[in-house]
Structure 1
Amino acid sequence: MLSAPVLLLFASSMRIVSGADWCYQSEVTCNHTCTGPEVWGVVSQHCSGKSQSPINIVTRRTLRNNSLTSFEFIGYQEAFHGRLINTGHSVQLDLPSGMRIKEGNLTGAYKAVQLHLHWGKDGGPGSEHTVDGEQSPMEMHIVHIKEEYDSIPQAGKDRTGVAVLGFFFQKSKSANKKFDPLLNALKYITQPTNRTILKGVSLEMLTLPKKNMTKYFRYDGSLTTPNCAEAVIWSLFENTVPLSSKQLAGFAQLQFSTGKQMVQTYRPLQPLNDRKVYYSRGHLAQLSSVLLITCVLVSSALSPSPSV
């Protein structure tokens, strides 16, 4: 017969293994045991895989890939009304049909499904991916799936079924007015499962100018929350989106399913293992422009002056 302490331990283990209440490390407390990132592997075996996300991108070890062309963004400039939800883990904006991405060395068109964000505390470090060890205050993911699929779980069964565009945020002195509609709507979704309709926004408003979206990092990875399916083609843009300290702090008014303040909503970094990280030819184009200007200046300096 099992003793009381053993039965308690067994019951706790069963609760963790159920995985119904996975959480971020910031939610884990002594009096509330939820399934934190270190043991997400018991929620889904995918979370213990060898191609997990997020990762640290070491820029000097990235490999140039001329096949990583600019993306074609379809419907990104069109205003829409979308459902904004407090999922209990993040804020998510459901995207209407019609938005697509092509090119960028993708095998075909991917349709946008939703976007969500990961952030820190009071504007502190909060991105999931890091670049040369530096963690940005926030990171936005626009999630796309292949056109033939109807949902993320369905696309997650395909090794290249999901394409995520990642955007890093940086703290700025002035507010980014384009984010005001989203930020103003947060007060309506402070509690988990709360939802509201976000009106008159476009993906173009919430991302970067198109000219700043040619330089990006690419690698194969996973979803960053359970079930952690290794089915994601990641494209992380080098240029950053500005938000003021006050705007970044505004996300802390949301609450987790546990009732705690929703902060530090990011998964710890995962090993790169034998994967490669590539960078787009936008980097090459920039380098070529610099070299061209240098060559012109040198040529002009060496050319003989015209005779009078």
Structure 2
Amino acid sequence: MPSDTVVDMRVSLGPLQLKNPIVAASGTYGYGEEYAELVNPSLLGGIVVKGLSLKPREGNPPPRIVETPCGMLNAIGLANCGLDRFLAEKVPLLSALDTTVIVNIYGHSTAEYGALAGALQGIDAVDALEVNISCPNVECGGLAFGTDPVAAGRVTESVVRNADKPVIVKLSPNVTDICVIARAVEAAGADALSLINTLTGMAVDVETRRPVLGNLSGGLSGPAIKPVALYMLYQTVRAVRIPVMGMGGIMDARDALEFLITGAAALQVGTAHFVNPRASVEIAAGIEGYCREKGIRRVADLSGTLLTRVHREMISR
């Protein structure tokens, strides 16, 4: 393919159309404005804004972030400004962005999720909802919604029933079988999935013999979790028919290509932004360059092209 050939970078995520497959992950890109002086948000396929709850949350006590040898632990505790301030202060800013805006929502009861979805009806600046089901479920004694297929399905049904936008459900890796949860939320009406959320971990200060994080444990992200994320993506795309947005340890274009080849329809980049604020833009450019080099005219055609041993044996016959 000639070096000046234009690669079609557009991808579909159910009813959602993205200008390219790279989306900034929730909690790592603020509301877009925080990075505006360094990166033009219009160069991204989309951004997922910081998690939103009905009421403001201060989050967990510090320390809330700690670097690990191959990633990052965070225990921010879903701190956010709450629905009212989001509508008054953040929506006008999001309206000015020339990219897809996805709002990550969470609650501690099924009713809270439904209420948030309903409150975001008719907000033109919001293109889709991402449902974080890793929160403690107060209806079931604190067990996270995302670890129980019945609870995950109920939350999804509540959001879908109250939403007027595409619904993406973000799955937790802290389960025995992620495919069980994926099929449950698909049956409940989800338009797409995103995975994986962070893995639970902790760090210890050997001098003080105390946990480094004020909350004791936190969510591990970054390169350490990429192999886990890839395998869970591989399992999930074969278990459901709805599209999947992959994430977990994507630091450069080659990482992103692994996820696309494994079957992701789109990708989220998170921890990489703390190392390089331009990571998402550079990753998108790297994918485009790869497609041009390999003669791939549509990046969507790359998704799910993984050749396993079974596939190779079929081709060789």
Tell whether the structures are fold-level matches, with TM greater than 0.5.
Answer: no
TM-score range, shorter chain: under 0.3
Task: Select the structure with the greater relative contact order (CA < 8 A; seq sep ≥ 6).
Answer: 1
TM-score calculated relative to the size of structure 2: 0.24
Structure with the higher fraction of residues in strand conformation:
1
Structure with the higher fraction of residues in helix conformation:
2
